[in-house]
Amino acid sequence: MKNFFYGFILLILVSFGFLYISKYNYILEGVSKIYLKGYTTAYLDDYKNFDNREINASENPLPWNLHQNYNISEVPKGFESYNKKNGTVAFLVIKNDSILFEKYYDGYGIKSMSNSFSMSKSIVSALLGKSIMQGHIKGLDQKVKDFFPEIKGKFADNLEVGHLSNMSSGMVWKEDYFSPFEVTASAYFVDDISKLILDQPIKYSPGKEFKYKSGATQLLGMVISKATEKNLSEYLYESFWNPMGFENKALWQIDSEKYGMEKAYCCIASNARDFARFGKLYKDFGRWNNKILLDSTFVAKSLNPVFDKDSEYGYGWWIDNYKNQKILLMRGHLGQYVILLPEKNLIFVRLGQQKEGKKVKSSFTEDIYSYIDFGIEIAKK
């Protein structure tokens, strides 16, 4: 028994030693920051385990208006049990730009921060629109090689910045959030994410078809940072966070203190009320309190399908039709949602620990429609 125990310990040490000297050494960080904390994938509060760059609250905070019927609605049947089953931590209904209903769970509250995950892709796309509006980037058709001539691959010369936002990059990338050996996990833990991204070749012709790849948004963030000569957190603050009156500070995960590149494809830690502001900005086609923060043409393009075959995505936004009305979404891992129903002037926000994985359509899980139904029912009150 003693020999077995020593042999087992030796095997573990050898395995960790192999990982340390291999290209998978980032897994050791994943073990300490994710797996040893009882999770099998990234989770809502994991930003506390990583290096972050702070985004200050606005110099002129602008609270949301509270609806005259704020929180007096009876919740729909099954609402509480559904949220508890799926680990919901926040649910908001905003009607006519006023908060009609909000509910928090598991110790979360109005100011609680949690990980946006891929909802940040919509925010990075907004930064793209801003950088075009300000002339830092010539347009959606500007070549990525103008900023990173070292990008690799047969079709690297054809890659345009717009392809990175509408998910038609042609980049080699496997979108897998649970396997520690895939590039998505690597991007979450490596110290130099820019080097990792520039090692992913553009193998397929860009602009031909929709293929969702987090690496494309990361490269887009790198382009924006280089074009503006600012880090993404700084540019986000001056472009949107400050002028839109964000009430609370936020954190944006970076790869490491040494390299300081934001994880553009994910990982802005903020709260439900502040995430909702991007829903209002896009609902109002780039206007905020009569100030034009984004070009309305860019917003309109963002909220309509790019490809006829894959009609579920625009530029950084998901698109659907449900019960004969257009639905627009910011979406993130584990069911982080900002949902717009523009025809009804409604915004729903749901943040939580998990989602129901059964797909109703090619890219939409059934929980999305449950939250929409709950939100519509609450908004009737």
Q: What is the pLDDT of residues 39-67, one digit of tens each?
A: 878 899 999 999 999 999 999 999 999 99
Give every CB contact of residue 333 below 8 A, 6+ residues apart in sequence: 41, 42, 115, 117, 118, 177, 266
Dist. CA 21–CA 77, nearest whole Å: 55
- CA 29 to each of CA 32, 34, 131, 181, 185: distance values in angstroms, whole numbers, following the listed order: 5, 8, 34, 13, 11
Buried b (16+ CB within 10 A) or exposed e, 61-80: eeebeebeeeeebeebeebe
Q: Are strands 98-104 and 287-288 parallel, antiparallel or unpaired?
A: unpaired
pLDDT over threshold 60, residue 185: yes
Question: What pLDDT, in 10s, does the model give residues 209-241?
Answer: 999 999 999 999 999 999 999 999 999 999 999
pLDDT at 6 exceeding the cut of 70: no
Q: Which two tokens stand for residue 3?
A: 């020999």
- Whether the per-residue pLDDT at 174 is higher than 70: the answer is yes
Q: Are 345 and 283 in contact (CB under 8 A)?
A: yes
pLDDT band at 31 (very low <50, low <70, confident <90, very high): low
Does an H or E element contain 288, and which? Answer: strand 287-288
DSSP string, 354-371: -----BSSSS-BHHHHHH
Taking only the tens place, the pLDDT of each residue in 349-379 is: 999 999 987 777 768 999 999 999 999 999 9
What's the mean pLDDT in 288-301?
97
- Report the DSSP beta bridge partners of residue 88: 352
Q: What is the CA radius of gyration of the chain?
A: 21
Is the confidence at residue 2, as pLDDT, over 50?
A: no
Q: Which of 100, 109, 102, 92 is nearest to 70 (CA)?
A: 100
Q: Which helix (H) or strand (E) holds 250?
A: strand 250-253
**pLDDT, the chain, mean:** 91
Read off the pTM. 0.92
Q: How far apart are CA 171 and CA 180, in angstroms?
A: 20
Cβ atoms 274, 248 nearer than 8 A: yes
- Is the pLDDT at 263 greater than 80, yes or no? yes
- Lowest average pLDDT, out of 37-41, 144-148, 303-307, goes to 37-41
Query: Residue 126: how many CA atoms within 13 Å on its side-chain side?
Result: 29
Q: Quote the tokens at residue 23.
A: 């290209």
Residue 10 has pLDDT above 50, yes or no: no
% of the chain with per-residue pLDDT over 70: 90
141 residue type, one letter = D
Q: Say which DSSP state 314 is in.
A: S
Query: How high is the pLDDT of residue 30?
Result: 56
| Sequential DSSP letters for 45-107 | TGGGGS-EEEEPPPSS--PPEEPTTTT-SPPPTTHHHHHHHTTEEEEEEEETTEEEEEEE-TT
Neighbours of 279 (CB within 10 A): 25
Q: Measured between alpha carbons, how far is 372 from 322 in angstroms, rounded to an integer?
A: 9
Size of the chain, expressed as the number of residues it contains: 381
Mean predicted confidence (pLDDT) in 8-30: 46
pLDDT digits (tens, 9 = 90+) for 92-129: 999 999 999 999 999 999 999 999 999 999 999 999 99
Q: Decide if 371 contacts 348 (C-beta within 8 A).
A: yes
Residue 15 has pLDDT above 80, yes or no: no
Report residue 16's pLDDT band, with 50, 70 and 90 as the boundaries. very low
Q: How far is CA 136 from CA 23, 169, 258, in A?
A: 36, 21, 26
What pLDDT, on the 0 to 100 scale, is given for residue 37?
Answer: 72
Q: Lowest mean pLDDT: which of 24-38, 54-68, 305-319?
A: 24-38
